[in-house]
Amino acid sequence: MNSDPDRSGQAGALTVLTPIAHGAEPALRAYLEGLREGASPLARLPRTHFGRWVIVSELVPDDEPQPDRLAGPYLLFTASFDGPLDSYLDELCDELAAEALEIWGRCAGAPQPPTGAPLKAYLRAHHQTTGFFVAAYPQATVGDVRAALAQREDVIAFARAAQGMDPAQLHAAFHDRLGG
């Protein structure tokens, strides 16, 4: 049993909902959608498996039987990451300092500038605890996954190349290329 609902094995779930400052939604949306043009800033957080920013203008469609209307839009940030939350937030606040200014800098109540320990405290204060978090490979870190994927390619290439080798060649080539 996993007693921490924000964890599945060594993997953690971070869910943060912050109110967007009045009038700031269009610029925030444009900034976030513009991130597609280059490398994602989340690539600089090597413990991040998956991450997303979502602008929540309304929680549910307006023809829902009992809709709660939002007073203003919210920014949802989620990440599936490796290891402890505390050090992950440290890395996020440190490594994404420039982006945080453009993103959480447009959120109501965020520290100005949104960096370091004040940003970390802000994100923690707006964290939503997960109910149920499931991971297909809960013990594998991003590094484990990437290494395993690269090694699989090496094994496939080696298995093809090895088809014509005699035992002595095979033995030597394996230790040279896949010997670990």
Q: Which of 87, 144, 161, 177 binds another protein (CB under 8 A)?
A: 144
Residue 54: exposed, middle, or buried by beta-carbon count in 10 A (0-12, 13-18, 19+)? exposed
Phi/psi for 104 (5° steps) reads -75, -15
Phi/psi for 70 (5° steps) reads -80, 140
CB of 165 to another protein, least distance (A): 8
Residue 170 contacts another protein per CB under 8 A: yes
CA distance 1 to 12: 15
Helix (H) or strand (E) holding 48: strand 48-56
Task: Scan residues 50-69 and list those touching another protein (CB under 8 A).
Answer: 50-68
Residue 159 contacts another protein per CB under 8 A: yes
CB of 43 to another protein, least distance (A): 7
Residue 27 contacts another protein per CB under 8 A: no
Q: Which of 10, 17, 91, 102 binds another protein (CB under 8 A)?
A: 17
Mark the segment that binds another protein (CB under 8 A) among 36-44, 88-96, 112-120: 36-44
Decide if 114 contacts 92 (C-beta within 8 A). no
Mark the segment that binds another protein (CB under 8 A) among 83-91, 112-120, 123-131: 123-131
Residue 124 contacts another protein per CB under 8 A: no
CB of 101 to another protein, least distance (A): 16
Q: Which two tokens stand for residue 92?
A: 């996020």
Task: Scan residues 82-101 and list those touching another protein (CB under 8 A).
Answer: none
Residue 9 contacts another protein per CB under 8 A: no
Decide if 5 contacts 129 (C-beta within 8 A). yes
Instruction: Report the candidate in 80, 92, 83 with the shortest Cα–Cα distance to residue 122.
Output: 92
